[in-house]
Amino acid sequence: MTGEAKATAYLILGLIFLIMPSLTWVILARQRSRVVVLWCGGSLLCAGGLILIGLRGSIPDWASFAAANLMTFAALLSSIQALRLDQGAPWRLWLMVVACLGYLLVFEFIRQGLGNTPLRLGFVGLVQLVLLLQVVRWAWCIARRQQSLGALAIAGSHLLLAVAMLVRLMNLIQARGGGSNLHPVAVGLLASAGVLAAIVGDVGFIGIAIERLARQQLEAVASKVRMEESLRLGNQLAQLDRQRSLGLMAATLAHELNQPLTAILASAQAARRGTAGNRLDPTQSLELLDKVILNTRRISGITDRIRSFIRPGEAQSAPVDLVRITREMLELMQPDLRRHGVRVAFPAAGEPVLVQGDAIQLSQVVLNVLRNAIDAVQLVPDRSIQIQILRSSREVALGISDSGPGLDPEVAEQVGTPYFTTKKQGLGLGLSISTANLRQHQGDLTLRNAEGGGACADIRLPLPAGAAL
């Protein structure tokens, strides 16, 4: 092959290496990363080096020899670094800089110091062969781990180029002369493999990026589906837990409803007897009717609280008064508190403390914590529960402390874990559901031993936007 033909081949190959990374850069405009920059930058460096080699004789030797070969060497390093970075195992930058300087010094020593053209060509070919095999290795790793056809295309095209480079080296050994003695078949094979590597390599890299994007989108959809399914099952489980809670309190609720019903019956009977004997004046009749109305409203309030607590429905976010829902849960637990002789210390008056969230879910959290506190104090003679609500600049803390025996250190680590319970009839779901509910509200639940004895549950919730002090 004549010198003119070689120069033309190098220029054409350089033009191809210039066009392909430019197209790759445009196509991957929305997915640009360090990996894309390194890959496209490496191809552009290779294009620059090939063009400088093609212009040999028309430009200074330092550009067509030293600069051109350094650029092709750095181009292969950059391509390898892109693939290594994709796998999370990049080289250190200083190692790459040292490698480039070392390569340039050895190349210039052989070219100018020894003046041995066959040795120079053999050195360049051997280094490029080693680097091409590195590209093949890392592309194959990506293809195997990610099942990527694009990476397989890169590995295949660069392996073919490595084979062509090996043929060229063998031809150099056999020729025992300068580059002009290379067999035309070896040169043609090398040029063809170079074109194939430029085109197929960049197309394969685009394929890797597209495959990764598709995989990320599929994973995002799958994650969203899993989250929605988990939320749906969590809501169902929470509803069942609320129904179970009321099932456990059925007897005490019957007692709670029996009191106003008995009062209504007594008032109605007194009104009937008084009316039959003409012994009631209008004022007394109104008093009896007022008692009936009052107790009827008490029953209505109790049933409304029960109905809203166990009614299934989607979580709703709205301002919730933490003080109010705590009082409602205390009223709901009042029969249990009286039956077990538990004293509750909770400030009788106070301003509303608003948080953003779902009233039913937050009520369930408070109920679960109260129920655990009541169970704990039954193990000691002095049965008391203290409740306080503290508000800071960013959050609200509802603390419920009991006078029970406290938490065993080994047990404390597992409290809140699903299905872990120390109760004979417990399911181990109450606190885990409460924790999940609070996480949906960007809050948390922590259990600790109180300083004066017993255990303390801290329910922390963020203040609504614009409500910070």
Whether pLDDT at 102 is above 90: yes
Mean pLDDT of the chain: 77
Who has greater pLDDT, 161 or 290?
A: 161
Kindly indicate the confidence band of residue 349, based on its pLDDT and cuts at 50, 70 and 90.
low
Kindly indicate the confidence band of residue 427, based on its pLDDT and cuts at 50, 70 and 90.
very low
Pairing of strands 395-402, 384-391: antiparallel
The answer to whether the CB of 326 falls within 8 A of the CB of 352 is no
Whether pLDDT at 314 is above 80: no
Give the Å distances, CA to CA, from 273 to 172, 263, 267, 279: 126, 15, 10, 8
Residue where the block lists tokens 């070969």: 69
- Over range 456-469, report the average pLDDT: 76
The answer to whether the CB of 437 falls within 8 A of the CB of 427 is no
Among candidate residues 250, 248, 460, 261, the one with its CA nearest the CA of residue 375: 248
- Over range 84-103, report the average pLDDT: 90
Other C-beta atoms closer than 10 Å to the C-beta of 12 total: 16
The CATH number of the structural domain formed by 315-469 is 3.30.565.10
Residues in the chain: 469
List, in order, residues 6 or more apart from 453 with CB less than 8 Å away.
403, 406
- The CA distance from 34 to 81, in Å, is 10
- The CA distance from 122 to 48, in Å, is 21
The CATH number of the structural domain formed by 3-225 is 1.20.1070
Give residue 420's pLDDT: 39
The answer to whether the CB of 333 falls within 8 A of the CB of 369 is no
Give residue 105's pLDDT: 93
Among candidate residues 171, 169, 136, the one with its CA nearest the CA of residue 154: 136
> In DSSP terms, which residues pair with 449 in a beta bridge?
455
- Over range 309-321, report the average pLDDT: 66
Q: What is the per-residue pLDDT across 106-141, written as a single tens digit (0 to 9) for each?
A: 998 988 888 888 888 888 889 989 999 999 998 899
Among candidate residues 400, 391, 407, the one with its CA nearest the CA of residue 344: 400
Q: Percentage of residues in the chain with pLDDT exceeding 70?
A: 77
Among candidate residues 128, 239, 256, the one with its CA nearest the CA of residue 193: 128
Give the Å distances, CA to CA, from 64 to 12, 55, 57, 289: 16, 7, 8, 110
List, in order, residues 6 or more apart from 79 with CB less than 8 Å away.
38, 39, 42, 43, 135
- The CA distance from 266 to 278, in Å, is 18
Q: What is the per-residue pLDDT across 188-247, written as a single tens digit (0 to 9) for each?
A: 677 777 888 888 888 888 888 787 777 777 778 877 777 776 666 666 656 656 555 555
Task: Pick the most confident of 5-9, 200-204, 436-440.
Answer: 200-204
Give residue 306's pLDDT: 58
pTM: 0.51
Domain ranges of the chain: 3-225, 249-311, 315-469
Whether pLDDT at 72 is above 80: yes
- Over range 400-406, report the average pLDDT: 86
- Over range 352-359, report the average pLDDT: 83
Give residue 243's pLDDT: 57
Whether pLDDT at 448 is above 50: yes
Whether pLDDT at 17 is above 60: yes
Give residue 467's pLDDT: 57
Hey, what CATH class is 249-311 in? mainly alpha
Q: What is the per-residue pLDDT across 231-282, written as a single tens digit (0 to 9) for each?
A: 666 666 566 565 555 555 555 455 456 656 766 777 777 777 777 777 767 7
Kindly indicate the confidence band of residue 419, based on its pLDDT and cuts at 50, 70 and 90.
very low
Q: What is the per-residue pLDDT across 31-61, written as a single tens digit (0 to 9) for each?
A: 777 888 888 888 888 888 888 888 887 888 8
